[in-house]
Structure 1
Amino acid sequence: MRKARMYPFERNRYFYGKLLTVRDFESEQKYLNDKRRLLNRLLFGSGVVAGMQVVAVDDKTVTVEMGLAIDYSGREVVIPSPVTLKLSMIEGFTNNEYKKNVYLYVAYDEKGREPVHSVGNSSIRGEEVSEYNRVLESYRLFVKEEAPAPASFEHVRLLEDVAVLYQDAHVRISQRIPKYVNPGDVVDVTLVVEKTLQTARVALSFDYESDGFDPVGGDGRHVEFMEPGDGQDTEYRLTYSVKAKDRPDTVAKLALPPQSVTLTIGDQRLPIDHAAVHHVNVISQPVMERILKTWYERSLDQAAEGSADQDLCLAKIGLLQLGSTYMIEQVERVPFGEYVPNASLLQRLSHTDRAGSLHRFFAESQAYDLEYGAKPKLDVHYHPERNTFDFKLGIPRPQAIQDEIATGTIEVPLELNAKTGLKFFSRGRRNYVTDEIKHGLGSGQVTILVGLAPQETLKASIYYGVQDVFKGTEYESDVPNVDFGTIVYPEHGSFRIGMRLNGSAEADKLNIRWWAFKKLQEGAEGTGESSAETALYREAAPGKE
């Protein structure tokens, strides 16, 4: 039936006295078989229905369990009982290279059964002739040593645009991106690295170019892949994201120019001689609608015979070289996802409550501090025994304020104070210099700012600089007109304030507020007593007068 016309269907018409020949009986079987196989192909698809697990029995032997599959022509393939075979005895396996992956396939096969004497043929030929009395619908197992092209699968061609960047006998690097996107969608681009187990470590980096996409994430357009040092896998996937621009009904492009690609396998750097280019349709309609439209607009020939030559892959088998022979290291079942799901199961899953036990999980979170300048860190651990995700988020501490600040107040009497004996600005004396005032910021250069308050509470406005500029305005105050100067002692961590009274003053004392500012070193973080990490200034004790 492969590459044969299954339609239009034609069946026998029976009537009394009809002479039935071999052709009539064959037409009867063909009519029933072709109809059923066409419906299998179009309604159910192709793949493993049940069973057919492939298990490594020892270093050179595999067992294929009994099972059922539907091939790409809609024929049922049945393995009625487990079969155990040495890998070297399976059709297609060669012993010329042991460091590789091989792919085990199953295919529909027919075999004759029950040979019997053919009376009709013997009368024509003149000698005894035997014919098979039955046809056994069977199967055959065989090996291919090359992986199928990613775009050879119908569902991949429908959903994704695949580009191969590099391929040789041991390594294949391809990239996949959704075939249809909506404007503004953030889509994942998947880099797939396939290799044999004994191939040296693979490292890849590139800068992609795009028209219609913007990069998403902190690395911009740069992508890097490094195989883990203890890697024991034959396939790795790395995903990065891009965002489609708001350009509906256009074709976006994403390309990996060969000059921007650095590929190393082990210590060897390999050149890339062609660009991997993706073309993605940016559409206005929902992506699902477009995919279904493409699916239903296939011709009957495309739907029924488009993949008829394809076989079902049951397993990818990774081989290791062991001296002059090989051993089976691992078996990956149905590596290309060729399954036929049960329609009833799909229907029940589609109606399963998304908030039910099948989808429900719990989350626990914790935040902790990191050093200033460190990158934020997120650790996620899944605990399957209680279906819980544990999130731990490390947040860098904020940068310390670069200026340390201290402040204080002093009172300066304008007349002789009988209690203290101090003579600040007494008659005939217009200048005064305070004792050393400790600002509390430690040694080093500081900047001192001095202001004058009109009230003892120091909660009203404080005047800095020359007060005469406010005369004749609503902001004029009765504070004395005083000039200030300061002397800073960097080694002592102290300073003095010098004052000169200009004119007469009605107040009996001066309320002075001072501020000290100290610049920290660039990039330094305040710690201990000299820190301004709370972003608040220090209130120093009043200076000794």
Structure 2
Amino acid sequence: MKRSRYYPFERNRYFYGKLLTVRDFESEQKYANDKRRLLNRLTTGSGVVSGMQVVAVDDKSVTVEMGVAIDYAGREIVIPSPVTQKLSMIDGFTNNEYMKNVYLYVAYDEKGKEPVHAIANSAVRSEEVSEYNRILESYRLFVTEEAPDPASFEYVRLTETIAPIYQDGHVRIYQRMPKYLNPDSVTDVTLVIEKTLQTPKIAIEFDYECDALSPIGASNRHVAFADPGDGRDTEYTFKYAVKAGNPASGKAALRILRESVKLTIGDAKVAVDANPRHEVELIHDRVPERVLRDYFERTLDQSLDGMAEQSICLAKISLMKMGPTYMIEKVERVPFGEFVHNPSLLQRIGGFGGQDADSRFFTKSEATELPYGSKPELNVDFNPDRSEFTFKLGVPQPQHIQDEIATGTVTVELEPSNKSGLYFFSRGQKSYVTEEIASTLGAGQFYVQVGLEEKDIHVTSDLLQSGDQVYYGNADVFKGSEFESPLPNVTFGTIVYPAKGAFRIGMKLSQATEASAIKLRWWAFKKLPGAETAAVVSTAKAATKEAAAAKEEDLSGK
């Protein structure tokens, strides 16, 4: 198919008495095939149309599902049924090294079918001659160990510039950048790091210089990337932004300073000999229109011959070394996006008429919590240097039931009131008041309930208590019953500080006791404003407003 020519087209002209030869029948087939393939290539595109999923079925084998694709010469490739093969049995696979990525391709292939005896040939040859009666339009699978050059894809050449930085058998590092920019627009420069699964951590940093481009952010023309080293990814991307100027020349450039590049793979420092450089054209037209113009200004030779021999990559397969052999760790389907997209589907999902990538705005957002009952807040900031909007949203906290209730204990030490050592309070004697106790409910009105806890306060572990009881209210009601408390009868009072969200407990004994301290259990209850409270407040506000209006009317009448 090298330098294949689909034009000019010639078709057979039939007439009575015409002697038909092999050449006539072959040209008949070639005419139909070439026209169909030309339209396939130029109007439909190239890539996977449907199916052809690649799945690892075990550590060493893959299955390619049935499917349809169109290659870069416009030929249809059909896999009629699933095919399962050991990776080592596929053409192109080598056992030289198992720690690598391999790429599984599918290509168009023709095979002879139904061999028959050629009668005409036997008349001029002494030996028997056989010919194939059919040609089977088939496919072949093969493996390569080197990733394709990104610039080998036509859509990349039309839209991006690629700057290689470093490449060996395990690592490939390069940068991508748009080919066209509008003046004063912001764009991302993408650093791409590809590696095998068992390659050590990669770190790279470098400085760059620009013509008619200025860096965005605090990077100061310095880029640094460190491999997170989680061992699961074989490709990383790192982006930094630049803003286009508006020079009279309409040209811009970005160059990586080779002497500033510091590349480390594992513990080894690697020298970089490349001089990566991006050439960018600054245009005032819409970038998509310029790309379309380049597309339609290609010559027919460029359209047909440039990629005619390129095959379709179905999968990127990451291999891990396991002792003396390998295992399939990961399969990435169609890693270079070689799909044929259905125009009707693209129209449905907005593939046509979408927002231009070069004129988009950048956005970022952050959310903060506001106290319960507050109104939501939304603040928007715009950074013209980055064409970036920052949205800051304040969201009120929800009402939680557990926020309405809090509990705790406090121990009150008693002082003996006579020489016998008894702890006795009589009416009019000093009462005990605790220090301020934080309710943990926050500011606002709340109610406190206090009880007397029957527990030996000198026992350090709750597990040693035989039976704990808490008495609320007047314990005298239990006298004479099996529930009578050995603790003295106590009168409680509380002071609440709504502004602080704190309170104090006051206590007076009405009888003598041998206890040296008393343990109190308190509960604090806070009713947060709900729908009913809001309705009451709303009604009160409305009534106040009506009263004020009536008063104003009365005064104006006087």
Q: Does TM, scored on the shorter chain, surpass 0.5? A: yes
Segments of 5+ residues of structure 1 without an aligned counterpart are: 356-361, 369-388, 394-545
Counterpart of 2:368? 366
Give the secondary structure class of the aligned counterpart of 1:206: strand
In structure 1, what is the Cα distance between the partners aligned to 2:333 and 2:243? 34
Q: What is the Cα-based RMSD across aligned positions, in Å? A: 2.3
Following TM superposition, by how much is the alpha carbon of 1:258 offset from its aligned partner in structure 2, in angstroms? 1.0
Aligned residues: 368
Counterpart of 1:147? 147
Following TM superposition, by how much is the alpha carbon of 1:61 offset from its aligned partner in structure 2, in angstroms? 0.3
Following TM superposition, by how much is the alpha carbon of 1:347 offset from its aligned partner in structure 2, in angstroms? 2.2
In structure 2, what is the Cα distance between the partners aligned to 1:339 and 1:75? 15
In structure 1, what is the Cα distance between the partners aligned to 2:80 and 2:2? 23
Amino acid at match of 1:3: R
- The residue correspondences of 1:323-338 to structure 2 (distance < 5 A) are 323-338=323-338
Q: Judging changes above 3 Å, is the alpha-carbon distance between structure 1 residues 116 and 392 closer, same or farther for their aligned structure 2 residues? A: farther
Counterpart of 1:6? 6
Does the 8 Å CA contact 2:200/2:265 hold for their aligned counterparts? Answer: yes
Following TM superposition, by how much is the alpha carbon of 1:39 offset from its aligned partner in structure 2, in angstroms? 0.4
In structure 1, what is the Cα distance between the partners aligned to 2:30 and 2:14? 16
Counting helix residues as a fraction of each chain, which structure ranks higher?
2
Following TM superposition, by how much is the alpha carbon of 1:289 offset from its aligned partner in structure 2, in angstroms? 1.2
Counterpart of 1:309? 309
Counterpart of 2:300? 300
Counterpart of 2:27? 27
Counterpart of 1:135? 135
Following TM superposition, by how much is the alpha carbon of 1:169 offset from its aligned partner in structure 2, in angstroms? 0.5
- The alignment's TM-score, normalised by the length of structure 2, stands at 0.64
Counterpart of 2:82? 82
Q: Judging changes above 3 Å, is the alpha-carbon distance between structure 1 residues 311 and 354 closer, same or farther for their aligned structure 2 residues? A: closer
Following TM superposition, by how much is the alpha carbon of 1:231 offset from its aligned partner in structure 2, in angstroms? 3.7
Following TM superposition, by how much is the alpha carbon of 1:45 offset from its aligned partner in structure 2, in angstroms? 1.1
Following TM superposition, by how much is the alpha carbon of 1:257 offset from its aligned partner in structure 2, in angstroms? 1.1
Does the 8 Å CA contact 1:39/1:74 hold for their aligned counterparts? Answer: yes
Counterpart of 1:255? 255
Does the 8 Å CA contact 2:202/2:265 hold for their aligned counterparts? Answer: yes
Does the 8 Å CA contact 2:198/2:231 hold for their aligned counterparts? Answer: no
Q: Judging changes above 3 Å, is the alpha-carbon distance between structure 1 residues 41 and 86 closer, same or farther for their aligned structure 2 residues? A: same
Give the fraction of aligned pairs with identical amino acids, expressed as a percent: 65
Counterpart of 1:220? 220
Does the 8 Å CA contact 2:164/2:274 hold for their aligned counterparts? Answer: no
Give the secondary structure class of the aligned counterpart of 1:240: strand
In structure 2, what is the Cα distance between the partners aligned to 1:21 and 1:193? 58
Counterpart of 1:269? 269
Residues 493-527 of structure 1: per-residue CA shift (max 9 Å, x gap): xxxxxxxxxxxxxxxxxxxxxxxxxxxxxxxxxxx
In structure 2, what is the Cα distance between the partners aligned to 1:258 and 1:392? 47
Counterpart of 1:57? 57
Following TM superposition, by how much is the alpha carbon of 1:250 offset from its aligned partner in structure 2, in angstroms? 1.8
Does the 8 Å CA contact 1:188/1:239 hold for their aligned counterparts? Answer: yes
Counterpart of 1:285? 285
Counterpart of 1:346? 346
Q: Judging changes above 3 Å, is the alpha-carbon distance between structure 1 residues 391 and 321 closer, same or farther for their aligned structure 2 residues? A: farther
Q: Judging changes above 3 Å, is the alpha-carbon distance between structure 1 residues 227 and 364 closer, same or farther for their aligned structure 2 residues? A: closer
Does the 8 Å CA contact 2:346/2:352 hold for their aligned counterparts? Answer: no
Segments of 5+ residues of structure 2 without an aligned counterpart are: 356-363, 371-390, 396-558
Counterpart of 1:15? 15
Amino acid at match of 2:259: Q
In structure 2, what is the Cα distance between the partners aligned to 1:392 and 1:288? 38
Does the 8 Å CA contact 2:189/2:240 hold for their aligned counterparts? Answer: yes
Q: Judging changes above 3 Å, is the alpha-carbon distance between structure 1 residues 223 and 79 closer, same or farther for their aligned structure 2 residues? A: same
Following TM superposition, by how much is the alpha carbon of 1:233 offset from its aligned partner in structure 2, in angstroms? 0.5
Q: Judging changes above 3 Å, is the alpha-carbon distance between structure 1 residues 392 and 193 closer, same or farther for their aligned structure 2 residues? A: farther
Counterpart of 1:168? 168
Following TM superposition, by how much is the alpha carbon of 1:274 offset from its aligned partner in structure 2, in angstroms? 2.3
Amino acid at match of 1:168: D
Residues 340-368 of structure 1: per-residue CA shift (max 9 Å, x gap): 0012111222389999xxxxxx9882169
Counterpart of 2:236? 236
Amino acid at match of 2:34: D
Following TM superposition, by how much is the alpha carbon of 1:249 offset from its aligned partner in structure 2, in angstroms? 4.8
In structure 2, what is the Cα distance between the partners aligned to 1:228 and 1:90? 33
Residues 38-84 of structure 1: per-residue CA shift (max 9 Å, x gap): 00000011100000000000000000000000000000000000000
Q: Judging changes above 3 Å, is the alpha-carbon distance between structure 1 residues 18 and 366 closer, same or farther for their aligned structure 2 residues? A: same
Amino acid at match of 1:297: E
Q: Judging changes above 3 Å, is the alpha-carbon distance between structure 1 residues 236 and 131 closer, same or farther for their aligned structure 2 residues? A: same
Amino acid at match of 1:366: T
Counterpart of 2:73? 73
In structure 2, what is the Cα distance between the partners aligned to 1:198 and 1:63? 24
Does the 8 Å CA contact 1:161/1:177 hold for their aligned counterparts? Answer: yes
Following TM superposition, by how much is the alpha carbon of 1:126 offset from its aligned partner in structure 2, in angstroms? 2.2
Does the 8 Å CA contact 1:209/1:257 hold for their aligned counterparts? Answer: yes
Amino acid at match of 1:40: N
Q: Judging changes above 3 Å, is the alpha-carbon distance between structure 1 residues 139 and 240 closer, same or farther for their aligned structure 2 residues? A: same
Amino acid at match of 1:27: S
